[in-house]
Amino acid sequence: MNLRRDANLIAKAALRAVDPEEALLRHVRVIDGVLFAGKTRYRLDALRTIYVVGAGKACAPMARAIEKLLGKRIGESCVIVKDGHPLRLKRIKLREASHPVPDQRGVDAAARIAEIAAKAGAGDLVICLMSGGGSALMPLPVEGFTLAEKQSITQQMLKAGANIHEMNAVRKHLSRIKGGQLARLAAPAKVLSLILSDVIGDDLSTIGSGPTAPDPTTLGTVDEIFERFGLTLPRAMPRVETPKPGDPLFKRVQNLIVGSNALSIDAAAAKARELGYKPLVLSTTIEGETRDVARMHVAIAREVQRARRPVAPPACLLSGGETTVALKGDGLGGRNQEFALAAAIDLRETHGIFALSIGTDGTDGPTDAAGGCADEKTVARAEAKGHNARKDLASNDSYHFLEAAGDLLKTGPTRTNVMDVRIVLVTAS
């Protein structure tokens, strides 16, 4: 078996499964004048106007799929994508904005989305396209706050150690469009939100900060977070509450996930089986420190090789989710590249195991790489060019280490985003 070749084929299958255009068209179709979205039907001749809005790294191909389905039926529209991720569209207006740091272009485009949603009325359908990156690309601060002030609060929270759920609770209450407020703007129109999930557990209130989903957090939650972290606001915060679970407005809203990390991992497992490996999905919800996760994967691979458990070789261990990197150095890299470097250290001279980790959006950290891979010779190849594996790991310089080893993975922008895919192939020896 050629482990490097097979791991790359499995990774490609994982990416193909969450191609945004194909994923959307698997879940949404038009037959005899009826729009089918999952199990819900919309009679097109009963709709007055169809508006299309949305934001995210995958929005351009999702918008192209909607154009294929609905063509001239599409009315006013605006979707926001990350710089460098556009596609040529015929009817849907596409705007670019900054990610991950929001900019004024994003504010202006989000204001246009809010305007379109507010224009919709009874008899209309608002289709909202959401994918990873949507929260940063669609910033619309509440009245009385500027983008700079909102960014300052985010920076305070980051420095204080707030997690993503705490940050989202605050962001939603400082936004005019997140936390179900886009759905509120669109009422009484029907809303169909088509979502490519980039969060663990596919929590609708978290993906893109949930513009069309009920918000379980409250102003009381925000007050508690500010008190606990000692945060300060530049001025009095508007006391506008987001719509909650059970709000009647959501009876007119359908949130449909068309792509997720689990679908990507399932496709990887199918490809591995086709290539002669026994696939074992460890989890699609893995979090934690990247280097610890890498060592855990290698430890399981060794158990497979040595004791033939929890599966016998040839095996393909698969996992998804999104890990984190505790930055202690000034090197260059990303969580998937750091996974590969940490795995390489533990794989030194361990024959028959190959590890690969890739970010499905094609961008791993502030680099042009999507991730990296490792085998028993990775460390030797890099050290022959003057690198030291442990020093580079300590300085978070996985990019240059893997570059020297010839083990960087580069895909370019994939225009999708369903977190990360990790593949570990194991043979008998």
pLDDT for 35-50, tens place per residue?
999 999 999 999 999 9
Q: From CA 250, how far away is CA 193, in angstroms rounded?
A: 12
pLDDT number for residue 46: 96
pLDDT number for residue 4: 98
pLDDT number for residue 161: 77
**Reported confidence tier of residue 15, pLDDT bands at 50, 70, 90:** very high
Least confident of 223-227, 330-334, 412-416: 412-416
Mean pLDDT of 128-139: 93
Structure tokens at 77: 């529209």
pLDDT number for residue 162: 81
In the chain, CATH 3.40.1480.10 covers 3-11+262-426
| Residue 218: pLDDT over 80 | yes
pLDDT number for residue 185: 98
Mean pLDDT of 302-328: 95
pLDDT number for residue 213: 97
| Residue 164: pLDDT over 90 | no
Rg of the chain over all Cα atoms, to the nearest angstrom: 23
| Residue 62: pLDDT over 90 | yes
Q: From CA 350, how far away is CA 82, in angstroms rounded?
A: 41
**Reported confidence tier of residue 150, pLDDT bands at 50, 70, 90:** confident
**Reported confidence tier of residue 81, pLDDT bands at 50, 70, 90:** very high
Instruction: Give the chain's mean pLDDT.
Output: 94
pLDDT tens, 84-130?
888 899 999 999 999 888 899 999 999 999 999 999 999 999 999 99
pLDDT tens, 346-367?
999 899 999 999 999 999 999 9
**Reported confidence tier of residue 417, pLDDT bands at 50, 70, 90:** confident
238 compared with 397, residue with greater pLDDT: 397
List the one residue out of 401, 243, 261, 385 whose CA is nearest residue 337.
Answer: 401
In the chain, CATH 3.40.50.10180 covers 20-259
| Residue 413: pLDDT over 90 | no
| Residue 193: pLDDT over 90 | yes
pLDDT number for residue 1: 84
**Reported confidence tier of residue 200, pLDDT bands at 50, 70, 90:** confident
Residues 6+ apart with CB under 8 A from 326: 289
Q: Return the CATH fold of 3-11+262-426.
A: glycerate kinase, domain 1 (3.40.1480)
Q: If you classify domain 20-259 with CATH, what class do you get?
A: alpha beta
% of residues, the chain, pLDDT over 70 = 100
